[in-house]
Amino acid sequence: MKLNRNLICWALLGFLLVILAITQFTPWIFHRPAHPALSSARQKTSTAAISHSPAAPAPFLSSTSPADDPSRDSIPPSILPVIMLKGSDYEMGFQYGEQACAYIDRTREDKWASALRRFNRDEVLRALRANQTFVRTFTPEWLDFMQGMADGATKAGYPMTYTDVLLMNCTLPDPKTSVYPEGAEDDELTSKRCSVASAWGSATRDGTLIGLDTLDTPDVAHAVVIVAFPDKGNAYMCGTDAGEIGDHFLMNDRGLFLGNSGGGSSPRPEDEGYGLAWACSLPYLVRFAGGAFEARDMVMKWQINVPENFHFVDVRGQACVVEKTAAVQAVREAGDFGERDFLFSTNNYLHPDMKETKEGGFVGGHGGYGAYSAPRNTMIWDLFHNYHGEIDIEFAKMVLRFPGPPPPWPPAGGWEAMFCRPTNLWTAVVQPDDGDEGLAHICTGPAGRVLHASIAGDGSVMRPTYRYAAGTHTFYRLRLAEGPMEVAEAAKKAAEEELATAYGRLMGLNYRDTGYGDLKELYGKAVAEVFEGRNVYNRAVIEMEAAGGNAGEAKNRALALFGRAASLCTRAQAHAREVYEALVPAPTSPVDLGLRPFGGPWATWETPVGRPR
């Protein structure tokens, strides 16, 4: 028995030692590198990732609160990141290339793949030489900007050439029907379906200018919001595919709102050709024009390459739409079609001089030439004309969610395509200011929750789909403030306001309420993003002070960090607003704003309506 007792004691002691060993060494076993070579590879990968950008994820971002990162991510962003630019043309291009290098590289691949499906490489280069002559003639500043983009992206670890960047900022017309510019053959390559509307004066509640802009495409872009403070020209803000110098929406610090939409297809080959693309024309106009009529006069002197609408309006009441193709152009102003202090433009033309660019006659009273866009034109006419004087920011946001519910009698293909539709890549409600108070309310993807297919006037169908991995259907605010630091500060303040609003509603629930746990987790995510944004902002302030007034890496790093801080705070806004709107649904019709119903007997409607909404 004595021997058995000894064996039992030793067995128990051994068992305890095994348990102790497991508790001590299990974390090391599961967290050690599986192989020295793999560990080395991971370290190299991490180093490479850091080198992609001065504002690289490792030093500045928490792995617990992932955010869309244009310097490393390949999935399109669910909330558009903010890119901060300041300095000369080359410096701003370099900063852009460095901060958005990964997204730009995705756009570069998209553009080359698309081009090479139509042409061989030599044909592409020949077309780029032709288009470059117009860039050099009309917008020469962008030559240095594009070289800077190529150099910045290359330094960040994404090799890129000036030719790559030029391709992202040009369109390639059919060479068989386009006149090649004289002398372009010897030139060296040196080192959209959308909707716009605006209202002001008597049309808005307080007389202030409000712009609406949607960028529509069947694809999902690696897009960003650019906030630029050039040494020469106006400060401006715009949305764009990463790699493009700019797209729309756009506004500057002189109080100018610029919206843009394609003019639609034309049966005439001469309406497309070599010329200036929107990626060069739009940001140039907003950077160098002080008002709507100055921008009008600039664009009417340019040769563009595809049919477009240029929608200009400023805080001084100047407003017009330039309807333009490569061969013909016309200008219309508010009142030409009965508009009282408002304008609209989509993917067709209204001016009678542009009739020859379309097939078919004028649709209804305000649909314009060409069936495709007529439903959007008549709907915005109905909304801005019949609710004249009631338009404010919340009304404008409602327009971008309307119509949300399914129609009362869905036609075979769905409902007519309106401003709110599945192809909204991003939407914006813009309040320009002649100063540093300009404000943009931005939503990535459609603001409305589109539940049904929609059909355009020409019969083309857009199926209901949502193409963002973590979209919110909510707006966030970004101010065109005095400088990059002030932009980030304003975004942080807006995030704190949205958190407080959401908190007030969320605290009325508890775990007995369905969905409370999910909303609480989403609210916590927004809080974490604000704290992370504050930390990045502090680093930016330190870096900018170290840079002083000098250009170089410290300044570029500070700008990237200010952009990152603003991005984190706009994400927090969107997520906090998502919590709030889960409890207090956003308005999707005039009735939700306390107004009379759309389609009611109290007014005349050009839009086909069933039951009033």
Q: Would you say 112 and 57 are in contact if contact means Cβ atoms under 8 Å apart? A: no
Q: What's the pLDDT tens digit per position in 33-42?
A: 333 332 333 3
Strands annotated E in 403-535: 415-416, 424-431, 438-444, 454-455, 461-462, 476-480
Q: What's the pLDDT tens digit per position in 175-202?
A: 776 666 655 555 544 435 688 999 999 9
Q: Is the pLDDT assigned to residue 535 strictly greater than 80?
A: yes
- If one counts every other C-beta atom within 10 angstroms of the C-beta of residue 434, the result is 16
Q: What is the DSSP-derived secondary structure letter of residue 276?
A: B
- If one counts every other C-beta atom within 10 angstroms of the C-beta of residue 217, the result is 15
Sequence-distant (6+) residues with CB within 8 A of 488 are 533, 537, 540, 562, 563, 565, 566, 569
Q: What is the DSSP-derived secondary structure letter of residue 186?
A: G
Q: Which two tokens stand for residue 471?
A: 């979209």
| pTM for the whole structure | 0.85
Q: How confident is the model at residue 460 (pLDDT cuts 50, 70, 90)?
A: low
Sequence-distant (6+) residues with CB within 8 A of 110 are none
How many whole angstroms separate alpha carbon 457 and alpha carbon 451? Answer: 19
pLDDT at 371: 80
How many whole angstroms separate alpha carbon 383 and alpha carbon 541? Answer: 45
Strand 454-455 with 461-462, pairing: antiparallel
199-203, 536-540, 609-613: range with lowest mean pLDDT: 609-613
192-196, 396-400, 442-446, 557-561: range with lowest mean pLDDT: 192-196
